[in-house]
Structure 1
Amino acid sequence: MVRCELKKRIEKWFDRDYRETFMERINLVMEAEQLYRHEKEGLAYGHTLAHILESISQPLEDSELLAGAVAMRIPTEEEERTIREVYKRWWDIPVEERHKKIFFYYSENWLRCRPYWFPSFGHLALDWEGLLSNGLGRMEFKARERMKDENLTEDQKGFLEGTVLCYQAISAYIERYAQTAEKKGRSGMAEDLRQIAYGEARTFAQALQLLWMIILIAQKVCGCGVLNLSRMDQYLYPFYERDLGEGRLTNEKARELIDEFFFKNNEIMVQTDHMSIETDSTDYTLEVAFDDPNYLILAGKKADGTGGVNPLTWLMVESAEELKLRNPFVVVRYYHGIPTKFWQLVCNAMRNNATIVIYNDETMLPALKHYGVEAPEVFDYGFYGCNDPNIPGDEGGLRQLWFNLVKPLELALNQGDYPMEPREKSSPRDCQFGPEDRMTGLMTGAYYGIKCKAPEEIRSMEELLEVYEEQLMYLLGEFRKGFEMDFEAEQKETKSRMRIEDCFLRGTIDNAQTWTMGGTKYHKIVAQGCGIATVINALYAIEKLVFTDKEFTLRELSDILRDNYSGNDMLALRLRKKLDKFGNDIDAVDKYAKIVTDLYVRGIEKYNGKDYLYQMWPTYSTDRDFTTMGRYVGATPDGRLAGEPISENQSPSEGSDISGITAMLNSVSKIPFDRITGGPLNLRLHPSAVQGDEGLNALCALFQTYMENGGMQLQINVVDAETLRNAQCDPEKYKTLCVRVTGYSAFFVEMGRKAQDELIARTEQMV
């Protein structure tokens, strides 16, 4: 049971004003700009962190079991105006100048609160085990010893000096919190804080306390959010087991500490949905990491081949189910032989709308090994925001490409031209991915391909697929070319820079350089394949209309699409509503799931290898950008009109899976996921379909069958459309309704109307 005191804090958190801001940080950052603007980058970073941590308040409530919070207040109108002017001065500059200050920034929203000399975008896992076993003091000592190397360059020295300053600042902050706890009469907490200020964690409580201190500082001070907390049930288990054996801990006390830790991961978040940028609460925010989900990985295989479910795994699932908060985003890793009772616990928690999703070790481990991840670290794989794969402690932050798989088909049908904006021969582009698209990874605007066969010259599906592959290969090559240009520029600009995560990754101190320079073992680009179901449906439609039934020639169909079905409205409706679609367990359609995946993977592999530091890892994911990407694609052969959304994540196209959930899962499982490294499959189930013991047993069997058939991921919302519509009308009554969106959870009433409507429109499945 959740403690009464914690319940009250949760209720209070729900009522917090979204305008509340960590004003102390903002003011101190602006001071630091003047104080350290002439210093080398590593020193400026370390001194900025120290300046903030030595001055910010240290709130501590009597009921808190773990120390660590920040002071929040609503800024005045004048303060808000001043802050926005500073943010504008930092980033309202030409793109070329912006790229010299920071690279790969993902979105304008991410930039505005992050100063260029104090950067971090997170999306990674720190070496949590190393942190707990070594402690900050030993980590600082290692950096100091590394600085004695006479062969270091000035840039490397500056980098290491910055890390030492960061370790010292964090230790001093924790020591100061110990004094705060002492003054509050919390002697036990003070003792724990003094131990972890410099030393290793020795107890379960100390381990959670040290983890939380680093998370708090990384996210709320440095903006290093969207963390993969990795397999906490594995690396915390020795502390838990030892404390139980020596009488320092009970299961009840362990559960209370877990509840506290989970809530604290929510408490620092603003009441908003970061992807709904049109809402007042998201548009307003002045915060870094204001709504960043943290991922927590449970269960899965261990490196010795045994299963990872232990008593701590159970406690963490139980906590997630009872709290029903949006953070942390719990990933349970399925494997052959997972305990039946534990599987029932997980499925029941998902049925009760806990923030829990499932990933499949039986596909993920082969996929990651295929792209070069070695044992033993492959067994600790996890995820950060939006289902991106991650090797904890051994790689840096997010580099991504949202690759629109529908684009190559459009180019193949138009001899490399873009029908919505035909190419002018006099204006060739150096790279199909412009600077903004390369930074955010999103394909927007006009994209052109290479000259290829005219539609009338393509005489079979095999020939069409060859042309599709040509265009796909060309676009992937263009991205690689642009990425390498930017990466080369980044290395020239960031030699002495550091980020907070560099203090807690394996390899950065040893190599005396930031992860962006190659300091870690692994470096990846998450290559998100987008619109897989739209491509599958379109290819089947071409096969059926052109090469089987011979209703149209490929030229005729191409011309109809170029004109956006003008004068052919009934044809578009027939193709959309009557033609077989992916998601209904029809082999003639579903065969293209493997065909497209094979082509995509072949393209990825062509532009991977020893010539590149960064390797592309393919996933199938759109996040919530399937609407944006669809805006830049003309009409497609499945009846979709120009500018309409492409299919979402791994799901069938909206409303096309009409044969039930079993058929839908059978279709998706035909994707060869042992070469795909991540991405979500979103399901919405009607509550009546999973009621009672019978419903739970059916859900357990359904999900396990999908995993055994080669599926990769599942996340569900058990809620009917009527409830969601009622929540739109009466948000106050439904403010705690938490839903899985794509790669994170959100409170439904905090989402924008478009996102709410998209969730309501998702097919309502019956088990």
Structure 2
Amino acid sequence: MCGTDKPSVTGNGQCESSPTDCVGGLFEWRKKPSAGIKGSEKRKVQKSFGAGHKNTERVLKMQKNGLKGVLGPFRSHRIMKTEMTTCVDGVFSQAKKLDQKSIFYEEANMAIAKGFSEPTDRIKQLKARIIDAMPTVEADRAELLTEAYKKYEGATPVIRNARANEAIFNGIPVTIRPGELIVGALTVTDRGCQIYPEFSYDWVEAEFDTMATRKCDPFEIPEDTKRRLSEVFKYWPGKTNSDLAHSLMSDKALECQAEGVFTVGNYYFGGIGHVCVDYGKVLRVGFSGIVKEAAEKKAALDPEDPETIVKTQFYDAVIITYNAAINLAHRYAAKALEMAQTEINPQRKKELLQIAQNCANVPEKPAQNFWEACQAFWFVQLIMHLESSGHSISPGRFDQYMYPYYQNDTIDRDFAQELVDCIFIKLNDLNKTRDAISDELFAGYAIFQNMCAGGQTPEGLDATNDVSYMQLDAIAHVGLPQPSMSIRYWDGTPDEFLLRACEVVRLGHGLPAMYSDEVAIPMLENDGVCLEDARDWLPIGCVEPQPQHKADGWHDAAFFNCCKVLDITLHNGKSRGKQLGPKTGEMTEMQTFEDFVKAYEEQMKFFVHYLVESDNCVDYAHMMNMPMPFESALVDGCLDKGKSVQEGAAKYNFTGPQAFGTADVIDSFVAVKQNVFEDHKYTMAEMMDAIDNNFGYTVDPNFNPTGSDREQGCGTAPASAGGGSTRSAMEQKVWEVVQSVLGESNAIDLSALNGGEPVVTGASAGSDQLAKWNKIHKQMLSAPHFGNDIPEVDLLGRRVTKIYSSEVHGQKNPRGGIYHAGCYTVSANVGMGRDVDALPDGRLAQSALSDNISPRHGFDVSGPTAANASSATIDALDFGNGTLLNQKLLPSAVAGDEGLKRFAALVRAYFDHKGYHIQFNIVNRESLLEAQAHPEQHKDLIVRVAGYSAQFVVLAKDVQDDIIARTEQTFE
């Protein structure tokens, strides 16, 4: 039985690690190899399972050989494939490098690349509509909702929202696009979006005339739509959810946000997302089954219980909402039947008649076959986006709830694959707009619909099935950013499945991302999730682990700028001259390195306090104002308790803010420790003078330094500098040749080169001062860097990251749950880098920050395995809200069968080191530069940004530059 008591990290409270394993922290659940198991026996265990369900034989052999694992019977485990030596505070201080050929037991007999079939003509045509569409704002939902709010203004919030749902589901235009097999659209236009004024609206009105031309995620707004929305917006001043949240926040919390320490805009201005509802329940019982359950629970209420009044409101709201949702599906059935009557193509006519039948049956009733299951799934996904503007509505473990309908159907596999492909197309038809600033943080029309495949069943058996492979093939066929496809890997994952996933990633779409069950399950248990629920986990949004349809994770609750906190620490609590944080001492007064660390800890504690206050204010606003009856009925706990998700009725409740700039902070601490406190290369005063003068560089007002320019600078030396060029004669000659050959022909953007010159910060500075600042800059850059498997650096990095995570973890939220930290950026490292001045690691003012837990671009120079080893030392248990590792590999590195095997070996090696997540861009710099120069020719180029993929050509140039600047790794 799945209990709720928080288990020990190891499940049984005992450490069974071998002497060379770590005895605490990140690696304390690592399983020691069972004595006497030889390589041949390991191979037998590995080969006792595959794509089918041969788990019984596998488990019996595991039991026979004593391979239960320390986390409980049938628990995920890992037979170690590395030899570790010494261990300090949970981090291996030395590790024998992995032999890539040893990762697969019989490399010569491994499955090799199989290639991919061509998508059908239908899929090609539907994809072309998505690629070619200019997203458009529509006003229908906003009008329908506002009229309902006016009519039911005196009702309780949950009934008011149910009546708004009813109005929307009954009135939203019904659209079936040409050639579709799965129907239901958010908007009439392809990739259009609706507006959600109940959460916020003023930014929409302010951007009426600029939204179509802004640099990130433009949307067209027709003049008639502007007129209609202007009328809608007259009702909303002082009534939105963001108005309520803002009124609850203290002045200091708002000031911290304004100064760029953190932002809580995701839920502040939008709806609740980051959830996976129970799609499988809809397939099993239908919407009518949910109406019946709500009615039965309402009838069973005790009239003497004072909570009956409130619970009755909730159950009535569920019944109203789901009856209206049934009607929405029936409207599509009628539309398909109407279209069939005039359709002259016999095949399409037959399809429309079947679509009409499907929509008449589901989602009202249980699904009877695979096509109906696909259609029922889609209505749930669509309605989740109609009810609220929250993003990261995760389809979850699609292969697990869809497989029974495929298994029991007589459907042709090719047609089943086309249906899955159609769902992938539909997921790209959903869209949302944000304000211009937020769109810089979520660049690329990102809505983070994370779909998962593989992993384990709640019983601990391998979950891979035929639908898992269909999901991978759908990525290859569709080649679009959504869904944010992920696979779960564990020791029971079939080799064929991992290789197939790597083969898909090799196509260059940045999909799927890869996750380790060996890490994710203990992460969830560490936060109080029971074993069975933890095994049934999925990644939400970018990388956030969550038990399926049982939690309100409130992930992506804030972007927390660790580099800004470091910047403020360097300046005794000041943010660009304003006293924002506590006075923790001038840097020149720091006597030891520990004084510096302590100051950073004090600033971190201060700002995390206001982060929590801000997030809780937003949380309270949603609780009071925005209970969501459709979502809540499909999250475990809500129907039983008679309360909404927003009121804390989910089985598990978390709040997950995420940090970024990790590598910049680590490298800064390393640079200060080495150059100031240990080697005494410079005094603290000299270092701070260089930092405050941006190491002698300035930023061109028209140039936002990112990528390689973050450390090298850009511009020309003014005459007042007195020194002219700082290059050697040979460097100057090369520069002149580059200018004449490449610059004049416009073959390359010279600002993207690494050789820019330092620009004096103040007119009074002379060449001697410039030279000194430049020398200090080079010295700080020369310190050891995170990402190169240097134990001293990685240990310090582990300590520094804990300063943030330990302050966040365990804080309380209004829903009765806890906070847990994450470390991932989306694309906020670019936009929020503008709030941070120069840092001790040599990063220049206002330039992009390091992303996620990845090393700084260009400083992980020891190869991909070394970069991965460093990233894996960041303790996953400290970051229950997830961590993210980006890596860019050259296509040549993974080419051919041998390259594919090396690629899979790299993934397994990272997971052997207890890494949680890794994702890849398989693309070279030249291809990206070509797409940047000629976007009209590369609309189908998909890249991995952070926890999501996007069309490269729709990203803002500074985000593109940041992706281009990522280190290109190879196995050479």
Which residue is equivalent to 2:838? 635
Which of residues 538, 563, 572 is equivalent to 1:406? 563
Which of residues 286, 308, 311 is equivalent to 1:135? 286
Which of residues 375, 378, 390 is equivalent to 1:209? 375
Hey, what's the Cα distance between the residues in 2 that align with 1:482 and 1:136?
Answer: 37
Contact 2:277 2:548 in 1 (8 A): yes
Which of residues 234, 239, 248 is equivalent to 2:405? 239
Which residue is equivalent to 1:178? 333
Offset of 1:333 from its aligned partner? 0.9
Hey, what's the Cα distance between the residues in 2 that align with 1:484 and 1:188?
Answer: 48
Mapped pair 1:503 → 2:649: no
Hey, what's the Cα distance between the residues in 2 that align with 1:489 and 1:291?
Answer: 25
Matches within 5 A, 1:88-237: 90=236, 97-99=243-245, 120-148=271-299, 149=301, 150=303, 151=305, 152-183=307-338, 184=340, 186-220=352-386, 222-237=388-403
Relative to structure 1, the CA distance from residue 502 to residue 463 in structure 2 (aligned partners, 3 Å threshold; closer, same or farther) is same
Mapped pair 1:471 → 2:603: yes
Hey, what's the Cα distance between the residues in 1 that align with 2:450 and 2:131?
Answer: 21
Offset of 1:15 from its aligned partner? 1.9
Matches within 5 A, 1:383-422: 383-396=539-552, 398=554, 400-415=557-572, 417-418=573-574, 420-422=576-578
Contact 2:570 2:587 in 1 (8 A): yes
Which residue is equivalent to 2:226? 80
Q: TM-score, normalised by structure 2?
A: 0.69
Which of residues 132, 135, 139 is equivalent to 1:18? 135
Mapped pair 1:375 → 2:531: yes
What do the CA deviations read for 1:388-413 (whole angstroms, capped 9, x no partner)?
33332222363513233334444554
| SS of residue in 2 equivalent to 1:736 | coil
| SS of residue in 1 equivalent to 2:827 | coil
Hey, what's the Cα distance between the residues in 1 that align with 2:464 and 2:904?
Answer: 17
Hey, what's the Cα distance between the residues in 2 that align with 1:138 and 1:372?
Answer: 31
Offset of 1:5 from its aligned partner? 1.9
Contact 2:274 2:391 in 1 (8 A): yes
RMSD of the alignment, in Å? 3.3
Hey, what's the Cα distance between the residues in 2 that align with 1:749 and 1:489?
Answer: 37
The code of the aligned residue for 2:601 comes to E
Which deviates more, 267-276 or 75-84? 267-276
Which residue is equivalent to 1:426? none
Which of residues 249, 261, 269 is equivalent to 2:411? 249
Which residue is equivalent to 1:600? 804
| SS of residue in 2 equivalent to 1:58 | coil
Contact 1:513 1:519 in 2 (8 A): yes
Which deviates more, 350-359 or 475-484? 475-484
Q: TM-score, normalised by structure 1?
A: 0.86
Mapped pair 1:686 → 2:686: no
| SS of residue in 2 equivalent to 1:584 | coil
Which residue is equivalent to 1:718? 922
Contact 1:273 1:751 in 2 (8 A): no
Contact 1:175 1:197 in 2 (8 A): no
Which residue is equivalent to 1:357? 513
Relative to structure 1, the CA distance from residue 549 to residue 707 in structure 2 (aligned partners, 3 Å threshold; closer, same or farther) is same
Which residue is equivalent to 1:648? 851
Mapped pair 1:448 → 2:584: no
Which residue is equivalent to 2:677? 547
Offset of 1:263 from its aligned partner? 1.1
What do the CA deviations read for 1:421-475 (whole angstroms, capped 9, x no partner)?
242xxxxxxxxxxxxxxxxxxxxxxx413x4466566544345434433332333
| SS of residue in 2 equivalent to 1:631 | helix
Matches within 5 A, 1:415-434: 415=572, 417-418=573-574, 420-423=576-579
The code of the aligned residue for 2:851 comes to E
Relative to structure 1, the CA distance from residue 7 to residue 378 in structure 2 (aligned partners, 3 Å threshold; closer, same or farther) is same
Which residue is equivalent to 1:623? 826
Offset of 1:664 from its aligned partner? 1.6
Relative to structure 1, the CA distance from residue 521 to residue 274 in structure 2 (aligned partners, 3 Å threshold; closer, same or farther) is farther
Offset of 1:98 from its aligned partner? 4.2
Relative to structure 1, the CA distance from residue 533 to residue 8 in structure 2 (aligned partners, 3 Å threshold; closer, same or farther) is same
The runs of 4+ residues in structure 1 deviating greater than 6 Å are 92-96, 100-112, 270-276
Relative to structure 1, the CA distance from residue 589 to residue 621 in structure 2 (aligned partners, 3 Å threshold; closer, same or farther) is same
Hey, what's the Cα distance between the residues in 2 that align with 1:206 and 1:8?
Answer: 23
Which residue is equivalent to 1:320? 475
| SS of residue in 2 equivalent to 1:582 | coil
Relative to structure 1, the CA distance from residue 122 to residue 270 in structure 2 (aligned partners, 3 Å threshold; closer, same or farther) is closer
Hey, what's the Cα distance between the residues in 2 that align with 1:70 and 1:478?
Answer: 37
| SS of residue in 2 equivalent to 1:376 | helix
Which deviates more, 360-369 or 395-404? 395-404
Hey, what's the Cα distance between the residues in 1 that align with 2:396 and 2:171?
Answer: 31
| SS of residue in 1 equivalent to 2:850 | coil
Contact 2:888 2:968 in 1 (8 A): yes
The code of the aligned residue for 1:67 comes to V
- Of all paired residues, the percent bearing the same amino acid is 27
Offset of 1:198 from its aligned partner? 2.5
Hey, what's the Cα distance between the residues in 1 that align with 2:896 and 2:437?
Answer: 35
Offset of 1:296 from its aligned partner? 0.3
Hey, what's the Cα distance between the residues in 1 that align with 2:450 and 2:437?
Answer: 17
Offset of 1:350 from its aligned partner? 0.3
Mapped pair 1:521 → 2:651: yes
Contact 2:274 2:554 in 1 (8 A): yes
Relative to structure 1, the CA distance from residue 596 to residue 71 in structure 2 (aligned partners, 3 Å threshold; closer, same or farther) is closer
The code of the aligned residue for 2:638 comes to T
Hey, what's the Cα distance between the residues in 2 that align with 1:108 and 1:742?
Answer: 18
Relative to structure 1, the CA distance from residue 363 to residue 537 in structure 2 (aligned partners, 3 Å threshold; closer, same or farther) is same
Gaps of 5+ in 2: 1-117, 190-219, 258-262, 341-348, 697-768
Which residue is equivalent to 1:286? none
Which deviates more, 591-600 or 710-719? 591-600
Relative to structure 1, the CA distance from residue 555 to residue 94 in structure 2 (aligned partners, 3 Å threshold; closer, same or farther) is farther
Mapped pair 1:591 → 2:795: yes
Which residue is equivalent to 2:488? 333
What do the CA deviations read for 1:714-752 (whole angstroms, capped 9, x no partner)?
111111222112212222211111111111111111111
Relative to structure 1, the CA distance from residue 613 to residue 727 in structure 2 (aligned partners, 3 Å threshold; closer, same or farther) is same
Which of residues 643, 663, 672 is equivalent to 1:533? 663
Offset of 1:630 from its aligned partner? 2.9
Contact 2:485 2:513 in 1 (8 A): yes
Hey, what's the Cα distance between the residues in 2 that align with 1:379 and 1:303?
Answer: 5
Which residue is equivalent to 1:47? 163
Offset of 1:48 from its aligned partner? 1.9
What do the CA deviations read for 1:78-100 (whole angstroms, capped 9, x no partner)?
33244156447636899984427
Contact 2:888 2:921 in 1 (8 A): yes
The code of the aligned residue for 1:312 comes to V
Hey, what's the Cα distance between the residues in 2 that align with 1:264 and 1:15?
Answer: 15
| SS of residue in 2 equivalent to 1:199 | coil
Mapped pair 1:742 → 2:972: no
Hey, what's the Cα distance between the residues in 1 that align with 2:782 and 2:574?
Answer: 28
The code of the aligned residue for 2:487 comes to V
The code of the aligned residue for 1:69 comes to A
Which deviates more, 185-194 or 384-393? 185-194
| SS of residue in 1 equivalent to 2:950 | strand
Contact 1:300 1:333 in 2 (8 A): yes
What do the CA deviations read for 1:230-249 (whole angstroms, capped 9, x no partner)?
11111222222222xxxx22
What do the CA deviations read for 1:324-352 (whole angstroms, capped 9, x no partner)?
11111111111124221211111111011
Mapped pair 1:268 → 2:448: no
